[in-house]
Amino acid sequence: MDYKAFRQDIRAWLEANCPASMRTPAKQEEQVWGGRNIKFPSPDAKLWFERCVEKGYCVPDWPVEYGGAGFDTEQTRIFKSEMRKLGCRAPQVNLGIWMSGPAILEFGTEEQKREHLPKIARGEIRWCQGYSEPGAGSDLAGLQTRAVADGDDFIINGSKIWTSYADESDWIYCLVRTDPDAPKRDGITFLLFDMASAGVEAKPIELITGERHFCQTFFDNVRVPQKNALGVINQGWTVAKRVLEFERNMMSDLGSETGSNVEPREAALHYIGKDNNGAISDVILRDAIARHEIQKRAFDVTQQRMIDEFTNGAGNMNTALIFKYCGTEEEKRKFELLLKIMGEQGLGWRDHQHFTESELNTTIEWMGAKTHTIAGGTSEIQLNIIAKRALGLPGVLS
Amino acid sequence: MTLAFNEEQRTLKDTAREFARNQSPVESFRQLRGGAVTEGFSTDIWQSMIELGWTGMTFPEAYGGFDFGYMGLAGCMEELGHTLVASPLLSSVVLSGSAILFAGTEEQKQTLLPQIVSGEKRIALACDEGFHHQPTAISATAVKEGDTFLLNGSKARVIDGLSADLFIVAVRTTGNAGDTNGISLLLLDASTPGISIEKTSLVDSRNYARLTFNNVCIPASHLLGEMHNGFAALDKALDRGRICLAAEMFGGIQEIFDRTVQYLKERKQFGVLIGTFQALQHRAAHMYTEIEMCKSILMLALDAVEKDSGNAPQLISAAKAKISETYELVSNEATQMHGGIGVTDELDIGLFLKRARMSAELLGSARFHFSRYATLEGF
Ligand SMILES: Cc1cc2nc3c(=O)[nH]c(=O)nc-3n(C[C@H](O)[C@H](O)[C@H](O)COP(=O)(O)OP(=O)(O)OC[C@H]3O[C@@H](n4cnc5c(N)ncnc54)[C@H](O)[C@@H]3O)c2cc1C
């Protein structure tokens, strides 16, 4: 494989096919979520999506027969880095791409792969994640939603909570208890089903940001074929853990997927100003900005170092355990810092007369960052995992 | 020096606690925040506060007050902070009232202070102009021509500036933005032609306005205090505001801390109360240590205010800085320790989180006060 030529081809294709308006950071409402009710914020977004779907670029590393581009690891890395360089938006966002799709690739039967993967790749089905329950958050394995066998089907009863976008999703991958007598991690099944099934109801819950992303999701005698289990019945915990790894990797991204991309350094020049030597005139903030930049650099190069170490045959998987924690915690600090830099302009609320879009978004993202150290496993649970897996400390719950 | 409330002050504080819990719980604030009420506070609750005498606490009897002092008022503010009660106590009584008390002529005091106490007039202080609190950075100009001042410029974050009857406007009459000299205070009737008053919506859903002055004519007799020499009174009034705001913030801190500790004793995961986890225990214990210190520094600053000590300004800065930082810490931890429910609008913690950031910026952030403290301490 001539990766150099590959890189050139990719760049040329992106330059020719990614519309200019798709080369700026996407705001929340500009993201294209796949699904039966797919919506496009602009004609360019539609064009970009369609061009990517045709090439399999929504899921570049998936095999061609399942709707991907069939790229190997290095090609995928090159593809992503070229996308980043040009600032190209993700053509489609979908929990199917990040989570259920990779899980189906790894654990699915051929029939499941053929049924689900192309629909994800083409943005036809949107997925949500039914893990947490009112009584089972950090202690996920304590989940109580029941699935009882009835002929070839399961009958599901119970409720999930914090299910992001359940009200807008088409399918759910859901953890259910199929053996209540087994030890808690051994009686769980990973089940895929249609949210349009009779007995499913999703009630939105408002976040502190004012958005209504997540829901409480109720199951009242929902009938699902047993063949919809992904992996072995009662051994869903293995699949569930793998999906959590996908989720945490995705969330480690320091908020750059949807970030307002306002950098503290630039913000300070605008909201604080410079002294006669050209330095940011508030010395306390200047130091804090430097601290943030150093942390961000260290974070970014850790990913690079890991890849280099693996390439050189001396990789350590434990390094990967730090990303979710470090990324989301630093994101939180970054937005606290931005608020201090911006003063009143960082505290506007739906006031389009006195605040710019970017200012209002920064405020929302400041609040949003609070959710990222909770969603996908809290920071405390991440530290527990590090204590247990990287350090081998005794008696850790995670 | 007394760093504890005396019996009278405690009784007053207990009354305030009962009042806040019963008459104006957080639920009342939720009803206000939609913006249905222009004032941003309940006029009924305000009327009750007036009847309770809270509007007169810091004024001498000669002006309709009863000289109860800032310890007393701050105790009330703290209790109001527990349930996020919005009211013009800070804007009208503390900031504007003390500016008039410190700078006004006998006649101005005789006229205006009783009106503040009775609630007949609501006055708002218009000082800040930029993104951050910086009371010397005043560019709005007032030029004296004969018997009138001609006012031009703008003001930001005027607390309770919507539907105020009167403004006290800090203006520049000479010198440049940043100079303490050359700042004067003017009394301005809200209905004077040439003023535009715009509502700004901020995260804590309270009443804030931006003012723009376009050739506004003000009679020369409306000068409050000395020409060019208004800064000392302004800063002293701001200090009274800062310490009362810090007291309110301290109430908010305790409220969400208590609720969080309670949650640690209720919520179970892994078959045990989450308060069993040392990772959370230590952080809660750490917050406790910070809160204890906040209380001390708040009382120290209040004591200095009561005695009008020379070092009151730096102690007030110390309290506002310490409490702003602690409110940030505790509001973040409270959110995190509640897990998923912590980031829902349904739980009250988020409302405190928003008020925490807003009140930290108002009348000077921690950074502003660190720097002011250092300057006042001479290093
Ligand atoms: C924005 C958002 C989106 C989400 N989307 C989804 C979704 O799509 N699907 C889904 O299934 N779930 C989703 N979640 C749920 C998320 O996974 C849970 O909120 C999270 O796992 C925490 O569980 P909990 O809320 O029950 O908190 P709890 O587990 O009750 O935690 C409360 C506090 O206790 C701490 N704690 C718990 N156990 C320990 C321990 N052993 N040691 C130290 N501290 C501990 C926690 O860290 C936290 O601070 C989402 C959450 C958020 C905020």
Count of CB pairs separated by less than 8 Å, A with B: 112
Could you tell me if residue A297 is inside a domain? yes
Could you tell me if residue A113 is inside a domain? no
| Statement to judge: residues A353 and A318 lie in one domain | yes
Q: State mean pLDDT over A336-346.
A: 98
pLDDT of residue A257: 45
| Statement to judge: residues A382 and A267 lie in one domain | yes
Inter-chain touch A347–B350, beta carbons under 8 Å: no
| Tokens found for residue A123 | 């943005």
pLDDT of residue B145: 94
Torsions phi, psi for A278 (to 5 deg): 85, 5
Q: Is residue A393 over pLDDT 60?
A: yes
At A139, which CATH number?
2.40.110.10
- Partner-chain residue, chosen from B203, B343, B358, that has the shortest CB–CB distance to A370: B343
At A300, which CATH number?
1.20.140.10
| Statement to judge: residues A267 and A374 lie in one domain | yes
| Statement to judge: residues A213 and A314 lie in one domain | no
Q: Is residue B144 over pLDDT 90?
A: yes
Query: Is residue B74 lining ligand 1, measured as CB closer than 6 Å?
Result: no
| Statement to judge: residues A80 and A148 lie in one domain | no
pLDDT of residue A258: 47
B334-367: per-residue pLDDT in tens? 999 999 999 999 999 999 999 999 999 999 999 9
| Helix/strand/coil percent split, chain A, to 5 | 50, 15, 35
Q: Is residue B78 over pLDDT 50?
A: yes
Q: Is residue A255 over pLDDT 70?
A: no
Closest CA to A89 of A332, A268, A259, A217: A259
Q: Domain boundary residue among A73, A93, A113? A: A93
- Please tell me the total count of domains within chain A: 3
Could you tell me if residue A30 is inside a domain? yes
CA dist A112 and A114 (Å) reads 5
Could you tell me if residue A240 is inside a domain? no
Average pLDDT over chain B reads: 97
Burial (CB count <10 Å: 0-12, 13-18, 19+), residue A357: exposed
Q: Would you say A83 and A26 are in contact if contact means Cβ atoms under 8 Å apart?
A: no
pLDDT of residue A208: 97
Min Cα distance A195 → chain B (Å) is 23
B117-137: per-residue pLDDT in tens? 999 999 999 999 999 999 999
Q: Is residue A303 over pLDDT 90?
A: no
| Statement to judge: residues A375 and A266 lie in one domain | yes
Banded pLDDT at A330 (limits 50, 70, 90): very high
pLDDT of residue A29: 84
| Tokens found for residue A389 | 């897996």
Q: Is residue A261 over pLDDT 80?
A: no
Share of chain B above pLDDT 90, in %: 97
Q: Is residue B9 over pLDDT 70?
A: yes
How much is the ipTM here?
0.96
Q: Would you say A125 and A171 are in contact if contact means Cβ atoms under 8 Å apart?
A: yes
Chain A stretch 128-167, residues whose beta carbon is closer than 8 A to a beta carbon of chain B: 132, 135-139, 142, 161-162
Q: State mean pLDDT over A88-110.
A: 96
Q: For chain B, what is the HEC assignment? A: CCCCCCHHHHHHHHHHHHHHHHHCCHHHHHHHCCCCCCCCCCHHHHHHHHHHCHHHCCCCHHHCCCCCCHHHHHHHHHHHHHCCCCCCHHHHHHHHHHHHHHHCCHHHHHHHHHHHHHCCCCEEEECCCCCCCCCCCCCCEEEEECCEEEEEEEEEEEECCCCCCEEEEEEECCCCCCCCCCEEEEEEECCCCCEEEEECCECCCCCEEEEEEEEEEEEHHHEECCCCECHHHHHHHHHHHHHHHHHHHHHHHHHHHHHHHHHHCCCEECCEEHHHCHHHHHHHHHHHHHHHHHHHHHHHHHHHHHHCCCCHHHHHHHHHHHHHHHHHHHHHHHHHHCHHHHHECCCCHHHHHHHHHHHHHCCCCHHHHHHHHHHHHCC
A175-197: per-residue pLDDT in tens? 999 999 999 999 999 999 999 99
| Statement to judge: residues A135 and A217 lie in one domain | yes
| Statement to judge: residues A230 and A270 lie in one domain | no
A133-144: per-residue pLDDT in tens? 999 999 999 999
pLDDT of residue A253: 64
Could you tell me if residue A395 is inside a domain? no
Average pLDDT over chain A reads: 94
Element (H, E) at A34: none
Inter-chain touch A162–B198, beta carbons under 8 Å: no
Cα–chain center distance at A261: 17
pLDDT of residue A252: 73
| Statement to judge: residues A131 and A214 lie in one domain | yes
Chain B residues with CB within 8 Å of chain A CB = 130-133, 156-157, 198, 200-205, 210, 268-271, 277, 279-280, 328, 332, 335-336, 339-340, 342-346, 350, 353-354, 357-358, 361, 365, 367, 370-371
pLDDT of residue A364: 95
CA dist A381 and A387 (Å) reads 10
pLDDT of residue A260: 58
Residue to mutate (ligand 1; options A28, A378, A383, A397; most atoms within 8 A of CB): A378
Q: Domain boundary residue among A77, A93, A109? A: A93
In which domain, by residue range, is A201 found?
127-235
B289-325: per-residue pLDDT in tens? 999 999 999 999 999 999 999 999 999 999 999 999 9
Q: Is residue A256 over pLDDT 60?
A: no
- Can you list the domains of chain B with their CATH numbers? 7-121 (1.10.540.10), 124-229 (2.40.110.10), 232-376 (1.20.140.10)
Question: Which atom from ligand 1 is nearest to the alpha carbon of A139?
Answer: 29
Q: State mean pLDDT over A94-115.
A: 97
Residue type, B103: A
Inter-chain touch B336–A353, beta carbons under 8 Å: no
CA dist B337 and B334 (Å) reads 5
Residue to mutate (ligand 1; options A95, A131, A132; most atoms within 8 A of CB): A132
The rounded Å distance from CA A137 to ligand 1 centre is 5
Query: Is residue B267 lining ligand 1, measured as CB closer than 6 Å?
Result: yes
Q: Is residue A248 over pLDDT 90?
A: no
| Statement to judge: residues A231 and A182 lie in one domain | yes
Could you tell me if residue A142 is inside a domain? yes
Nearest-by-CA chain B residue for A273: B131
Could you tell me if residue A377 is inside a domain? yes
Contact residues for B321 (Cβ-Cβ < 8 A; gap 6+): B366, B369, B370, B373
At A58, which CATH number?
1.10.540
Could you tell me if residue A249 is inside a domain? no
Residues of chain A contacting residue B358, judged by C-beta atoms under 8 Å apart: 347
Q: Domain boundary residue among A43, A78, A93? A: A93
pLDDT of residue B35: 75
| Statement to judge: residues A267 and A375 lie in one domain | yes
| Statement to judge: residues A386 and A275 lie in one domain | yes
